[in-house]
Amino acid sequence: DAKTTQPPSMDCAEGRAANLPCNHSTISGNEYVYWYRQIHSQGPQYIIHGLKNNETNEMASLIITEDRKSSTLILPHATLRDTAVYYCIVRPRSYNTDKLIFGTGTRLQVFP
């Protein structure tokens, strides 16, 4: 069974906030939520991660619900360069690598 569920695709206007949802209803107490993105055919790039508190860095914000069963990645001012596939994965902070499954992600298209 998939550990995370994401919509296959989303659109966002340039300059607007992009909100990418992820469902992880079976997340365990020691599992973090990680987000990566993959631009075109490049290697995936780390964006952000969190356990239960909301997190923000220079790239994005991560909002995790109180029950930790879902999260939202927020790109506050999307640009055309943010067009990519976004992957949400859950895994323990220390590796249990059968958790390192990326799934098919959400393809975000930012339009002018």
Partner 1 sequence: DAEITQSPRHKITETGRQVTLACHQTWNHNNMFWYRQDLGHGLRLIHYSYGVQDTNKGEVSDGYSVSRSNTEDLPLTLESAASSQTSVYFCASSSELASNTGELFFGEGSRLTVL
Which residues in this chain contact partner 1 in the complex, by CB under 8 A?
Answer: 32, 34, 36, 41-46, 49, 87, 93-95, 97-98, 100-105
| Distance between CA atoms of residues 89 and 23, nearest Å | 10
CB of 67 or CB of 98, closer to partner 1: 98
| Distance between CA atoms of residues 102 and 12, nearest Å | 23
Shortest approach of partner 1 to residue 72 CB, angstroms? 20
Shortest approach of partner 1 to residue 15 CB, angstroms? 28
Q: Which two tokens stand for residue 2?
A: 């998939």
Shortest approach of partner 1 to residue 48 CB, angstroms? 9
CB of 14 or CB of 55, closer to partner 1: 55
CB of 98 or CB of 112, closer to partner 1: 98
DSSP secondary structure, 12-27, as one string: EETTSPEEEEEE-TT-
Residue with tokens 């079976």: 26
